[in-house]
């Protein structure tokens, strides 16, 4: 039985109550190391919890937006360094597969099919990454592809595309895994996809529920939708996740699935422009 919208909304509203807010918001991620005076975007944490990879426009990379990583030592993120996969173009939207073997990301580097395309690299034993390969033509097109996310069992790829077939602007698409390839991607239905930009998200388990980014009038906000996409999405209960703010790029921590990391602009704690924050992952029950 699917959870009615009213029950889903009630569950999320309870998370926004003052007594619950302290439990759902955990604060800034890696102050001074991960979150800095620069802008930080989407972050992903390895399944063993020992590495975080995120996008940043800080100096020291190859140019534009670059992918950075830090390692966990003594309970703190340390030794931030740019990845060797960076180019003078933009590398952003990193996402670890749930077995930790592959890092997905988006880039507008030369040689792609369109503006931004999706790429992957495999992890090496020395905690580096192998050669960069583009995802197949069933995924990458002449349009922009952004924000890849794999379902926990690895059988579905969620991403955003601003090409034809959606409701307008960026929409969410899903492709099914077929061995090492993917089927042709299909857009998720309305009202989940809308005339606004649905700019990626992540799976809340294997049943289909999503945390997603929606951009309206230049402002971004994180929303949650249950397994029935015919139901309306609702905003995540987070103090700075407002309709006039900038919040997005929710990614579940693969090492702690009950938590997620997202990018936003809180009044406090604050390190720079866009910072990374940790919160309790929204729970949507009753999908089956």
Sign of CA dihedral 262, 264, 270, 274: positive
Let me know the angle formed at the C-alpha of 134 by 129 and 135, rounded to the nearest 5 degrees.
Answer: 110
Phi-psi region of 104 (alpha: psi -120 to 50; beta: other; left: phi over 0): beta
Q: What is the pLDDT along the chain (288 residues), one digit of tens a residue?
A: 333 333 333 333 333 333 333 347 899 999 999 999 999 999 999 999 999 999 999 999 999 999 999 999 999 999 999 999 999 999 999 999 989 999 999 999 999 998 999 999 998 777 678 899 999 999 999 999 999 999 988 899 999 999 877 888 999 999 998 877 899 999 999 999 999 999 999 999 888 999 999 999 999 999 999 998 988 999 998 999 999 999 999 999 999 999 999 999 999 999 999 999 999 999 887 676
Distance, in Å, from the CA atom of 94 to the CA atom of 44, rounded to the nearest integer, reads: 6
Residues in the chain: 288
- Taking every pair of Cα atoms in the chain, the longest distance, rounded to a whole number of angstroms, is 51
Return all residues near 232 (Cβ < 8 A) that are at least 6 apart.
5, 191, 225
């Amino acid at each position: 039985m699917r959870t009615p919208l009213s029950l889903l909304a009630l569950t999320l509203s309870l998370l926004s109550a003052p007594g619950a807010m302290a439990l759902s918001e955990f604060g800034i991620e890696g102050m001074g190391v991960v979150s800095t005076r620069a802008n930080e975007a989407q972050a992903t944490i390895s399944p063993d919890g020992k590495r975080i990879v995120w996008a940043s426009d800080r100096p020291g990379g190859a140019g534009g937006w670059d992918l950075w990583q830090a390692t966990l030592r003594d309970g703190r993120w340390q030794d931030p360094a740019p990845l060797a996969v960076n180019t003078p173009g933009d590398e952003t939207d990193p996402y670890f597969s749930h077995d930790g073997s592959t890092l997905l990301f988006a880039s507008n580097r030369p040689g792609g099919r369109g503006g931004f395309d999706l790429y992957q690299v495999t992890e090496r034993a020395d905690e580096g990454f192998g050669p960069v390969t583009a995802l197949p033509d069933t995924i990458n097109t002449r349009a922009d592809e952004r924000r890849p996310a794999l379902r926990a069992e690895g059988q579905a790829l969620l991403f955003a595309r601003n090409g034809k077939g959606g409701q307008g602007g960026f929409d969410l698409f899903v492709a099914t895994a077929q061995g090492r390839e993917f089927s042709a991607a299909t857009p998720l239905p309305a009202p989940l996809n809308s005339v606004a930009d649905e700019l990626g998200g992540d799976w809340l388990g294997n049943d289909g529920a999503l945390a997603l980014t929606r951009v309206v009038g230049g402002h971004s906000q994180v929303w949650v939708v249950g397994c029935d996409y015919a139901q309306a999405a609702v905003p995540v209960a987070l103090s700075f996740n407002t309709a006039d703010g900038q919040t997005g790029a929710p990614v579940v921590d693969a090492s702690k699935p009950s938590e997620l990391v997202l990018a936003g602009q809180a009044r406090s704690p604050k390190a720079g422009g866009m910072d990374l924050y940790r919160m309790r992952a929204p729970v949507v029950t009753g999908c089956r």
